Amino acid sequence: MPAGLVAFVVLAVLAAAILPAAAASPPASRARRAMVVGPEPIAVARALEVLRSGGNAVDAAVTMALVLAVTFPQAGNLGGGGYMLIWKADGKATVIDYRETAPAAATRDMFLDASGRVVPGASLTTYKSSGVPGTIAGLAMALERHGTITWARAVEPAIPLARDGFELPRGLETVLEKQRGSLAAWPASRKIFFAGEMPLQEGSRLVQKDLASTLRLLAREGPGAFYGGRLAHLFAADMKAHDGLITVQDLASYRAVERAPLAGTYRGFQLLTVPPSSAGGVAILESLNMLAPFDLAAMGHNSSAYVHLVCEATRRAFADRSRWLGDPGFVEVPLGGLLSPGYAQARMRTYDPERASPPESVVPGDPLAGESTSTTHFAVLDEAGNVVANTYTLNEWFGNGAVVEGLGILLNNEMDDFAAAPGQANLFGLTGSQANSIAPGKRMLSSMAPTILLERTPEGRMAPKLVIGARGGSAIITSLLQITLDVVDLGMELQEAVNAPRFHHQWLPDRLFVEKGGFSTDVTDALRRRGHDVAERGPKDEVFAILVERHTGWIRGAADARGYGVADGY
């Protein structure tokens, strides 16, 4: 090979390594009337079928959530919880909070040993790590209040997929291998996800017979079968057999809650997002308020000045999250203060464009003294213009790895999202205070944040512009913040924005994470000179987005290149 060509090839390979997904992003999928985006193709196809046969966005979303419980078992679920943000073409918006709750027998110190130290793994790997599942109640509530099809009809497409199985995709093989240990610990899980000693491989059939029976019963008897009927008794018996806490009474007392979305504005767009019990929406709105006075476009996407500014904002927002946020049914969350622009500006008074603020100066703020005057994700946009953005989870991939014997339902390990002890870091390195301590019936704090940006149309009504959501624990907040900036401030193409390398700073640990291979040494060196402790890490999050482009009439959908999701429409 001639020297010139060698140099060219070397450069091309280097460029591909430094600028991974963004440079090579194909354009987002586009459609004229409806769009669905989700983490795997079968569920997206089923949701589109519901839309084509006249169902609305909520019908499609609920159907999709139930299909994902089968086809995306690592996060799609019946045994977890989440949040559904619904925006209707008549302008009304609502949030269904179906986050798990702590069972009645849970106690503040349940994950501590006699000397007050956290027992390693107890909040992640045991039956006690599970909160009372909210998914079935949440989906049923969404359908009953905002859908048009029957519950049985929504459950139906999931049944044959569980009974007859489906071909295991490579992406699922990868996570099965990764979580091999947590699944292998439970015979009921091994029976489903293993062939002999090995997790199932790409191309084999994943059949979930017990889950098919559970779904059939749910279709026939309704969601009550899980919250007091036959399924509840089987669930509670399995809990008891494994030293878990959830009882039939816990299931019977579980309630999904419908809440008003949090609303804010950013550069002329109206933002609707999820209120507590998630901290996600609060942290995104608070960060945007802190960033509003700055010209981010002039700094340049992912330049050191830009990364520094955005992470100085998220450091402050996460400090507040840790101090102030918890289940609003149990603690007073000072939303008015936290979300007021004056408070955000006060928080940024210590911001220095040249230096990372010293850790001792980035402490939680005092929103009580502020101007308290205001207050596996998927998405569907239907032909009438209704939108659903839904994020739900088992916490870790496959939750604690345990399948409930006889039910085929994977158990969440969401109890780890509580602060096991003040200042104790959880799986995502997040710390919390009394506001997020364990108490019976309380919802553990979340970072999930399905979000919709609305714009005023030339006719003067509000209409969806951008619909976003992500997985990734605490990185949900920083990734959705970055997508908002990419689209609103930088005008990036949707797929390019979704695939672009991301960074993350969550206050504690006091470290700025940058995505491996996504940032040049010029940028990371410049950030280190400002005083940041910069560390590379692999991708932690995955974003799903829909963009309505009013001037062209296209609806664009983008699933993250980091996963194996798809966007499709018609």
Nearer to ligand DON, 77 or 524 (CB): 77
Using rule CB under 6 A, residue 131 touches ligand DON:
no
Nearer to ligand DON, 446 or 524 (CB): 446
Nearest distance from C-beta of residue 177 to ligand DON, angstroms: 16
Phi-psi label, residue 243: left if phi above 0, alpha if psi -120 to 50, beta otherwise: left
What is the greatest pairwise CA distance in the chain? 75
Stated as kind and residue range, the H or E segment containing 392 is strand 387-393
- Which of 550, 536, 545 minimizes the C-alpha distance to 563? 545
Using rule CB under 6 A, residue 506 touches ligand DON:
no
- Which of 188, 322, 329, 316 minimizes the C-alpha distance to 254? 329
521, 534 in Cβ contact below 8 A? no
340, 372 in Cβ contact below 8 A? yes
Nearest distance from C-beta of residue 9 to ligand DON, angstroms: 36
Nearest distance from C-beta of residue 415 to ligand DON, angstroms: 10
List the end-to-end C-alpha distance of the chain, in Å, as a whole number. Answer: 47
Q: How many residues bind ligand DON (CB under 6 A)?
A: 11
Nearer to ligand DON, 282 or 346 (CB): 282
Which residues on adjacent β-strands are paired with residue 556?
30, 547
- Which of 300, 309, 344, 290 minimizes the C-alpha distance to 486? 300
| Active-site residue, from 375, 451, 484, 521 | 375
Nearest distance from C-beta of residue 256 to ligand DON, angstroms: 16
124, 416 in Cβ contact below 8 A? yes
* Pairing mode, strands 462-471 and 542-549: antiparallel
Q: What CA–CA distance (Å, rounded) separates 95 from 97?
A: 6
Nearest distance from C-beta of residue 414 to ligand DON, angstroms: 6
Nearest distance from C-beta of residue 178 to ligand DON, angstroms: 11
- Which of 386, 480, 336 minimizes the C-alpha distance to 148? 386
450, 96 in Cβ contact below 8 A? no
Nearer to ligand DON, 269 or 418 (CB): 418
Nearest distance from C-beta of residue 350 to ligand DON, angstroms: 27
Nearer to ligand DON, 275 or 569 (CB): 275
Using rule CB under 6 A, residue 395 touches ligand DON:
yes
Cβ within 8 Å of residue 397, ≥6 positions away: 74, 75, 175, 178, 179
Nearest-CB residue to ligand DON? 446
Alpha helices in 225-369 (DSSP H): 230-241, 248-253, 280-291, 296-299, 304-324, 335-338, 341-347
Cβ within 8 Å of residue 76, ≥6 positions away: 39, 43, 65, 67, 68, 69, 70, 376, 392
Q: Could you tell me what percentage of the chain is helix, strand and coil, using 3-state DSSP and rounding each to the nearest 5?
A: 40, 20, 40
Residues 433-492 that bind ligand DON (CB under 6 A): 446-448, 471-473, 476
Environment class of 21 (CB within 10 Å of its CB; exposed 0-12, middle 13-18, buried 19+) = buried
Cβ within 8 Å of residue 207, ≥6 positions away: 162, 163, 164, 165, 192
Nearest distance from C-beta of residue 122 to ligand DON, angstroms: 16
Near ligand DON by CB under 6 A: residue from 393, 478, 479, 482: 393
Question: What is the phi/psi pair of residue 129, to 5°?
Answer: -75, -5
Nearest distance from C-beta of residue 4 to ligand DON, angstroms: 44
Nearest distance from C-beta of residue 474 to ligand DON, angstroms: 7
Residues 220-259 that bind ligand DON (CB under 6 A): none
Nearer to ligand DON, 223 or 473 (CB): 473
Residues 398-427 that bind ligand DON (CB under 6 A): 414, 417
Nearer to ligand DON, 123 or 304 (CB): 123
- Which of 179, 199, 146 minimizes the C-alpha distance to 75? 179
107 assigned to active site = no
Nearer to ligand DON, 447 or 482 (CB): 447
CB atoms within 10 A of CB 525: 12
Query: Directed axis angle between helix 135-146 and helix 57-71, to 10°?
Result: 160
Cβ within 8 Å of residue 353, ≥6 positions away: 305, 308, 309
Nearest distance from C-beta of residue 413 to ligand DON, angstroms: 9
DSSP structural state of residue 278? B
Residues that bind ligand DON (CB under 6 A): 393, 395, 414, 417, 446-448, 471-473, 476
Q: Catalytic positions, please?
A: 375
